[in-house]
Amino acid sequence: MNWLKTSILLAGLTALFMGAGYMLAGEGGMIIALAVAVGMNVFAYWNADKLVLRMYNAREVTERTAPGFYGIVKQLANRAELPMPKVYIIENDQPNAFATGRNPENAAVAATTGLLKILSHEEIAGVMAHELAHVKNRDTLIMTITATIAGALSMLANFALFFGGNRNNPLGIVGTIALMILAPVAAMLVQMAISRTREYGADAGGAEICGNPMWLASALQKLEQGAQSVDNTVAEDNPATAHMFIVNPLHARSMDNLFSTHPNTANRVRKLREMAGEPQRPWG
């Protein structure tokens, strides 16, 4: 069902781009904007993992330097039948985690020191299973495609702002102005809807990988409380990376939660508790 929702949202976003592209810039401008956006996001797809890990000063750990944490990830990767990802720790008091990488063969998972301090062994397993589910579902690719189309729409809006748009469109100058304002907002809303859908999918997949939905449910409650009480200044300065984290890292600035990329934590916990009624595989 999550894949169906994602497909519908992606189709809607594509249709929005095609329609708005013609209205705002005509066929030529639409093609140029899409080409530029694709180029930018191809670069991001191949390099974003390194850029984000460097941005957060993440340090890679091994089985020797962090045997407990690394061992959890290794066991989960085996259970998920995934290649072993690179494992990172971020020196940050806010409890949080994310996965990155263009495919399962080039993936990395990272957790903050704040998360490792407050969660139990089982809760850490639940969180890292969620991140490995993102890797298995190739959510990085999905969000790159989404960002490509949304970025192209923003470029079209800027094109119309400076060059007046396509005055021969069926709605005339009024339609151009309206789309110039509304199209990027609509694209952002669809992008957030896709992000939220993928979070639910990773919750379900993570519960299956670790074998007990309640481990992730318990962790989410602690992470939500911790993220709301501890600032993550790097995330606040780079809000475009917020969607990567398992819980929203933003809270310190008034506009942070206006358009949240994460579903409500209480709803996520409720769904996981519903899953807990199913037979569970033992850990280990």
Is residue 63 among the annotated active site residues?
Answer: no
Q: Tell me how far apart the alpha carbons of residues 236 and 231 are, in angstroms, rounded to a whole number.
A: 8
- CA dist list (Å): 193 to 19, 190, 223, 237, 264: 20, 5, 22, 23, 12
Helices (H), strands (E): how many in the chain?
Answer: 9, 4
Euclidean distance between CA atoms 110 and 112, whole angstroms: 7
Tokens of 91: 């020196």
* Candidate list 131, 199, 208, 224, residue with the active-site label: 131
Q: Determine the Cα–Cα distance for residues 83 and 121; give it in Å rounded to an integer.
A: 22
Which class for 138: exposed (0-12), middle (13-18), buried (19 or more C-beta within 10 A)? middle
Amino acid letter for position 84: M
- Beta-carbon contacts of 39 under 8 Å, excluding residues fewer than 6 positions away, are none
Q: Which residues touch 270 (CB under 8 Å, ≥6 apart)? A: none
Sign of CA dihedral 88, 94, 98, 100: negative
Structure tokens at 93: 């008091």
- Residues that are catalytic: 131
